Structure 1
């Protein structure tokens, strides 16, 4: 059952990126999609790929996890596959943004690719934070490698919360969800449910719910996604029909 749930969330969450990609292609425009959201998606899934890949593939990281947390990480193959696939597709969406912006006049292109000030400062601070952890890890791998891995997960978790806010605000300000694919939200919602259920099921089978704490980013990603999906679905079907 866990395997079915895992690959179900993989399919649902992976599919959630395609409606926006095809909507942009059909409209030959990324207008209505905030660049804050696009950039944060790429950075977030880059960080999540490093986090899941390290806990799944690295014997050294897995050993550190067993020593400090206990048991084996609950990161599954589908977690790594989802993270890498998401990074690829969100990167393609960013390429779309640059491509369609290149066909606009300079002022319009600048607006289309602009970052809000809070997001701009967040990216700088996150980069400094991870750079410091990388420096500490270089001097003391045994003491800081696992902390670095969780540093990437912390950045991803914060990004997941932050990235939805500009888009929700943009929809509210425009009183419209035009340019924002509702298919993305529906698939994302299904993926969030499958992901959370799988995590609790794996912990139950292992008889050790400390594994949920060890893979807290997966739980938080699911909960945060569900929260904002409800907001977007309400905007689309109730408020701005």
Structure 2
């Protein structure tokens, strides 16, 4: 039996990439996306594969297609508020678990093109790069890589990051966090993560690409989260 994670179909990769570009503001509401021919050249696939990806997004109401005119963004998928948004600290406290955080990396650098798009910033904007280990009762439950704008958060510090970032943003800065957009995928842990979680490299874990938005639609941060899945179950509470 193979231990590798199944490869994602090409049309799903294209679909996810388009969704990601919409959620991060690269494509905005009413923008036209590239033609099927342009997309087929970009992704080096057939137009049939591209059409399957865009058909799915049209069916979900995220894209709309006008014959002879083009395909346009009709809404941002991140505005679907399908789950209660809680900080790690809040979740641990509610579960009766003692939370703690270790900041491994806290640095400032220029954003590359990928991260600039994720944060809706100009290329080469100055950003924080943060790595944190989140513990529950002294056990490592999650590892985070976070990217944030320096200009928007000039006062950010290790002390703030060792506690609750959400709590600081909402209670100290008085800014309201609106929602998060998650892209979830099962992966086999990189060596560094497997060692941290004390698990075999063939044990699947959950990785989430998470973009957090304020109520006005601006972006707080982009975080890649790796969960110690054998010990920490990711749960959502859906609400109307």
TM-score between the two structures when normalised by the length of structure 1:
0.27
Q: Which has the higher contact order (CA 8 A, sep 6+)?
A: 1
Where is the strand percentage greater, Structure 1 or Structure 2?
2
TM-score between the two structures when normalised by the length of structure 2:
0.27
